[in-house]
Structure 1
Amino acid sequence: MTVKAYGTRAADQPFEPMDIQRRAPGPHDVQIDIAYCGVCHSDLHTARSEWGGTLYPCIPGHEIVGQVSAVGAEVRDFKVGDTVGVGCMVDSCQHCSACAEGLEQFCENGFVGTYNGATKDAPGHTLGGYSQRVVVSDKFVLKIRHPREQLAAVAPLLCAGITTYSPLRHWKVGPGKKVGIVGIGGLGHMGVKLAHAMGAHTVAFTTSEGKRQDALDLGADEVVVSRNAEEMKRHAGTFDFILNTVAASHDLDAYTRLLRRDGTLVLVGVPEHPHPSPNVGNLIFKRAAIAGSIIGGIAETQEMLDFCADHGIVADIEMIKAQDIDAAYDRMVKGDVKYRFVIDNATIAG
């Protein structure tokens, strides 16, 4: 079937309306009419080929919320009219040890991304959520229980939400833990909300004094301006866990010094240039660790959505029209968004 979308034909070309093809639903497929799609920084990196390997035409978008409009004959868990979501993955091998454990994000044969992933469908690579409709295997569709008026703000949970939720859960963040969230942006603002809801003492780190009140409003118990050496020093050796969402290269020692014995600094941002090599003394003498994390499996993503529905958690968003994607990207580069753009997909039709 032909559906309308917004995409780009080259790294240096603006977004434009396109007609794309979606497959007819197979026995295990769910067809979704997309209502909203969040705008992730990964979309920008891919569309502008900043990571290399982008296949064109490129239709980004992996924070998808919409309604089921058709299901395959073998689909049992979804029906027409259901409110559902699709995140960063639309397939995986389903037979490796990671997939068997529900950790599709670590698929040993490589998960299929919601866009720019290999597929048998035309044009040979997946096309994402900046479109009117998508057809996805039922194994990669998620149930959404938030009320209708919150659905636009739910969209970023499908990437920003799970990217922060997964490490918080894996490292058992909760009451009695002192937790730091570095960076108050699309990811960081979700990290603050989630860590606070999990019952941890939550400390937000920002380079900007102007974000202090914003971080408190998001649920932080304390805010540290990381450029203030005295503020940083006061917290030395006291953190159980620090989630670092900053994607720019920077000095990790500033944060490993803050870890207590057996503390962990987890990185979820991928910098354009490597971080300076950290001082291993900060790790060795405290049995501390630097670790990494990426999104979450489908079961954990569903758990995150349910947790957020139960706790009334959504992203802070700014709604845009599809025609404004290029301008939104330019603002993202400048950090001019609080804290996530979301496309109203009804505007894709023109």
Structure 2
Amino acid sequence: MGLSRALLAPIWALQLLTGAKSFLDNPLIGSRRLNARGLHVGRVKLAAGMAAWRRRRLANKVPRAWREAFDRDGFVAIPGIVPEAEFPALREALLAYEAPAREMRQGDAITRRFAIDPAMLAAVPGLKTLLERADVVALFHYVASFRTAPLHYVQTIVSHFDGNEPDPQEALHADSFHSSMKAWLFLNPVAADQGPFTYVRGSHRFTPERLDWERRRSLADPKAVDRLSGRGSPRVSAEDLAAMKLGDAEALAVQGNTLVVADTLGFHARGASARPGERVEIWSYSRRNPYLPWLGGDLLSLPGLAERRVNWLWALRDRFEARIGQPWRPVGKRRPTDTVPPAS
């Protein structure tokens, strides 16, 4: 073992007790020998057990119909989440809001994000009311399995912007080997052929067939699969779904004012878009170390700090871009529906 590997070995070992997932970047996680002895499957089963234990302690605050839908399917779709009399004003205020934006390109898709920060919350009071609603917060906590505040953004996805490279988000995948929460509140209708949220119902559960699939993928050479799978966000084929006794992926056509909250441990994707277009939504995200036994304890979830985290994260990545990368490029002030300028 070289000196650098010897120095890194304790860090790699400690990462086994976190949500670290890359088979390429951590030779212990990617070790065929250790995984043949059950390392990966053991991490998966422990994380799933911890999530289930935390959710049992959070369940009583979630409306029963939402909880049952999530437990069964791995996601819950709630039409008319904002009172119908209030939604048009909220939608109009968000679509007209101008602020510093960030954009990222993946394949032929552009994603634009705005931080839901103190300035936006002050300018759009209905947004704060929605994000602090007790039933919505309880659902976010239950799906994430932690009592922590998600990161919130206003997000625009422009499909078929330029070029022929496929959008990697259109491939069915799991985000990681453990539960995490993502949510979309769609501001406009999304048809089945307009890049809808797509999910394989029930794929958030670790059945014996799913565990066998996890074992087999942990024994594959991470350099021989696609880069995203090697880094711990596995892509899944129709044959894989059949082997796991799962159904086909379902594209959710929704009306505006529909909230979808999902565990992205389940297999999901951005559905294919038949033509150029855009999707605008409030997008929320929560992921934490899956092995923590406590529900809260996240200081950055405190009011006054939580709504500033997105800008802090962007600034941190800007500062250390050479070391950790920064895919989110500042593009100046924009509105969610402004036209994406052509590449220079």
- Short-chain TM bin: under 0.3
Greater per-residue strand proportion: 1
Normalized per residue, the structure richer in helix is 2
Normalised to the residue count of structure 2, the TM-score between the two structures is 0.24
Q: Which protein has greater RCO, CA pairs closer than 8 Å, 6+ apart?
A: 2
